[in-house]
């Protein structure tokens, strides 16, 4: 058997084991946990898309406002099987699951509200799986990173069986669409189709917390050479203005109401990963430091061409920062935005390994954290089979997911090291994507 076939077979076995563990062992346990709290009577499959479908449908049938307390109550009935009770101490806060998307999200998905949710959730998950798979060759196009078909297939299998993708697909999480749109936008930027890239990026604003840092970078990048890059801003402005204005015609006060919902969002979601991991004292300090670093990075790299390695490195680093300082701690499904950073590290790992020992150790630790679910899931299934199907306890069920929070940190550390070296030596500013590591580091 050829070596490439062995790799494909191994990737298939590991990916299948991870998917099976997630669907047949972890999700039933999570459903049982919800049921013990009296919250298991609603939709679990497709639960994150349900508020969008319901509010779009109610707007069409009853001209309802998606941000009202009554609409929140209807969403809770669909998601939990009943409205939340403030007198029940085990219930989440009363405004949990309030519609937290910009109003134009309902306009984008309005056609789907004409169909029953049971059919919509199946269709949207299939579409999201296809988009997630398609985002890989799009990022590879942006990176000008050539892979064989076998390598691409292995990468797609690992991506679709990753914890973020599995969580996002089961919940029908729109963040997977946002990640795909960013990949398509960057592929268009590298091909100098800036107006198309701006059009695509406008739709990422359905989840602005995922794209706002990179959007800030692209705007500063565009204005730094306005004559050459203005088409991105024009394309972005055309669609974002159209979506915002159309939404205001339907719901004149939606921006104020949406901001009000966002202000209460922190009451029922964990803080960003940096605050969650560092605690209430060190967390804000590290958050401020990383945010300041992101602003410095945006300014320092504003003039690099789209074909420069530093352009994609900066974008990947900003996405890693987004996962750490802007996304809620439990939003592992949104960590799919780490994909370009992981691809950048994958392309550069030989140069990183040959460099300093400390960086090599970070890379090894990050690789273990990244591949840990695949490493442990299949052996756990073997143990489960040999133990006559005895159910695992909570610690065993959570074992494959223990490293989820450390992956963004590892990507940030490795990319930060590469970008720091690039800025220090200035050797990547005008180079095309022929190598990601400065000459002194390779």
User: Per residue in 61-92, pLDDT tens?
Assistant: 998 999 999 999 999 999 999 999 988 888 88
Percentage of the chain with pLDDT > 70? 94
Question: Is there a domain that residue 415 lies in?
Answer: yes
CA pair distance 317, 103, nearest whole angstrom: 29
Q: pLDDT grade, residue 438 (50/70/90)?
A: very low
Instruction: Report pLDDT digits (tens) over 160-171.
Output: 999 999 999 999
For the chain, state the CA radius of gyration: 22
- Mapping DSSP to helix (H, G, I), strand (E, B) and coil, where does residue 226 land? helix
Question: Is there a domain that residue 290 lies in?
Answer: yes
| Orientation angle between helical segments 208-224 and 194-202, nearest 10 degrees | 150
Q: pLDDT grade, residue 267 (50/70/90)?
A: confident
pLDDT reported for residue 433? 40
Q: Of all residues in the chain, what percent are helix, strand and coil, respectively (each to 5)?
A: 75, 0, 25
Can you give the residue range of the structural domain that contains 128? 3-85+102-425
Instruction: Report pLDDT digits (tens) over 373-398.
Output: 999 998 898 888 887 767 778 888 88
Question: Is there a domain that residue 442 lies in?
Answer: no
CA pair distance 257, 280, nearest whole angstrom: 29
Give whole-number Cα distances, 58 to 46, 52, 101, 366, in Å. Answer: 18, 10, 15, 45
Percentage of the chain with pLDDT > 90? 64
> Closest by alpha carbon to 7, among 155, 120, 144, 207?
155
Question: Is there a domain that residue 440 lies in?
Answer: no
> Closest by alpha carbon to 132, among 334, 268, 336?
336
- Note the helical H segments in 225-304: 226-250, 254-265, 273-300
CA pair distance 387, 370, nearest whole angstrom: 28
Question: Is there a domain that residue 19 lies in?
Answer: yes
Does 327 score more than 80 pLDDT? yes
Question: Is there a domain that residue 92 lies in?
Answer: no
Question: Is there a domain that residue 91 lies in?
Answer: no
pLDDT (average), residues 18-25:
93
Q: pLDDT grade, residue 425 (50/70/90)?
A: low
Q: How many residues would you count in the chain?
A: 442
Structurally, the chain folds into a number of domains equal to 1
pLDDT reported for residue 364? 86
Q: What is the dihedral of CA 16, 399, 352, 356, to 10 degrees?
A: -160
> Closest by alpha carbon to 433, among 318, 316, 299, 297?
316
- Mapping DSSP to helix (H, G, I), strand (E, B) and coil, where does residue 205 land? helix
Instruction: Report pLDDT digits (tens) over 296-318.
Output: 999 999 999 998 888 999 999 99
CA pair distance 216, 299, nearest whole angstrom: 10
Average pLDDT, the chain: 89
- Mapping DSSP to helix (H, G, I), strand (E, B) and coil, where does residue 37 land? coil
Is residue 210 within 8 A of residue 173, CB to CB? The reply is no
pLDDT (average), residues 224-253:
96
pLDDT reported for residue 353? 66
Q: pLDDT grade, residue 145 (50/70/90)?
A: confident
Residue whose entry in the numeric block shows the structure tokens 């691809």 = 343
What global pTM score does this model have?
Answer: 0.92
CA pair distance 26, 373, nearest whole angstrom: 12
Question: Is there a domain that residue 375 lies in?
Answer: yes
Q: pLDDT grade, residue 222 (50/70/90)?
A: very high
């Amino acid at each position: 058997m050829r070596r490439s076939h062995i790799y494909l077979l191994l990737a298939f076995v590991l990916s299948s084991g991870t998917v099976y563990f997630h669907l047949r062992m972890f999700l039933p346990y999570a459903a049982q946990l919800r049921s013990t709290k009296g919250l298991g009577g609603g939709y679990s499959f497709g639960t994150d898309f349900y508020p969008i479908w319901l509010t779009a449908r109610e707007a069409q049938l009853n001209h309802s406002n998606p941000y009202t307390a009554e609409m929140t109550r209807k969403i809770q009935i669909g998601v939990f099987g009943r409205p939340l009770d403030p007198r029940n101490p085990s219930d989440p806060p009363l405004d949990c699951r309030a519609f937290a998307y910009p109003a134009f999200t309902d306009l984008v998905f309005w056609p789907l509200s004409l169909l029953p949710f049971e059919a919509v959730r199946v269709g949207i998950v299939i579409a999201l799986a296809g988009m997630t798979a398609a985002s890989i060759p799009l990022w590879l196009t942006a990176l000008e990173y050539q892979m064989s078909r076998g390598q691409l297939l292995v990468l797609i299998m690992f991506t679709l069986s990753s914890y973020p993708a599995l969580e996002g697909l089961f919940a029908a999480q729109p963040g997977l669409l946002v990640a795909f749109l960013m990949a398509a936008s960057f592929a268009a930027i590298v091909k100098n189709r800036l107006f198309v890239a701006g059009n695509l990026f406008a739709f990422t604003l359905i989840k602005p917390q995922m794209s706002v840092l990179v959007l800030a970078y692209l705007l500063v990048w565009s204005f730094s050479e306005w004559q050459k890059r203005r088409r991105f801003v024009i394309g972005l402005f055309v669609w974002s203005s159209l979506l915002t204005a159309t939404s205001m015609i339907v719901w004149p006060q939606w921006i104020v109401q949406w901001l009000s919902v966002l202000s209460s969002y922190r009451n029922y979601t964990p803080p960003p990963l940096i605050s969650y991991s560092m605690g209430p004292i060190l967390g804000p300090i590290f958050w401020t430091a990383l945010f300041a670093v992101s602003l410095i990075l945006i300014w320092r790299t504003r003039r690099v061409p789209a074909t420069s390695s530093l352009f994609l490195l900066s974008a990947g680093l900003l996405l890693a920062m987004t996962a750490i300082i802007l996304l809620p701690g439990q939003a592992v499904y949104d960590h799919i935005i780490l994909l370009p950073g992981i691809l950048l590290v994958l392309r550069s790992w030989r140069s990183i390994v040959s460099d300093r020992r400390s960086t090599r150790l970070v890379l090894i630790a990050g690789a273990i954290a990244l591949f840990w679910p695949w490493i442990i899931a299949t052996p756990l299934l073997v143990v489960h089979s040999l133990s006559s199907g005895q159910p695992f306890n909570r610690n065993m069920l959570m074992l494959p997911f223990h490293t989820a929070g450390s992956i963004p940190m590892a990507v940030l550390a490795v990319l930060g090291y590469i970008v720091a070296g690039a800025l220090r030596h200035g050797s990547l500013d005008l180079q095309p994507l022929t190598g990601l590591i400065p000459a002194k580091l390779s």
